[in-house]
Amino acid sequence: MSLDRFHKEAEQMKIYNNIETSYRNLELLVTSNLLIKTYDSKSKKLVYEINKSLFEVAK
């Protein structure tokens, strides 16, 4: 494998690892009840929202 190809693949893995880490962090916030995960049928995407009931408790 050439050095240029190695660097290119390493850069792609870094991007993949960042995405994977971000997803894991979102899921941790969902399990901690800080975020709510829903599915938007119009856009066909997962949506993460702040759990607004936490603000009611904090008042």
Reported as a single tens digit per residue, the pLDDT across 7-32 is 788 788 888 788 888 999 999 999 99
Listed by start position, the domains of the chain span: 3-58
**Nearest to residue 52, comparing CAs of 37, 35, 27, 32?**
35
Cα(29)–Cα(26) distance, integer angstroms: 5
Phi first, then psi: give them for residue 54, nearest 5 degrees.
-65, -35
Confidence at 48, pLDDT banded by 50, 70, 90: very high
pLDDT of residue 57: 63
pLDDT of residue 58: 56
The token duo for 22 is 């971000």
**Which ranges of the chain would DSSP assign to H, the alpha helix?**
3-31, 53-58
Q: What is the pLDDT of residue 59?
A: 54
Nearest Cα residue to 48 out of 57, 34, 58, 56: 34
Q: Is the pTM of this model over 0.85?
A: no
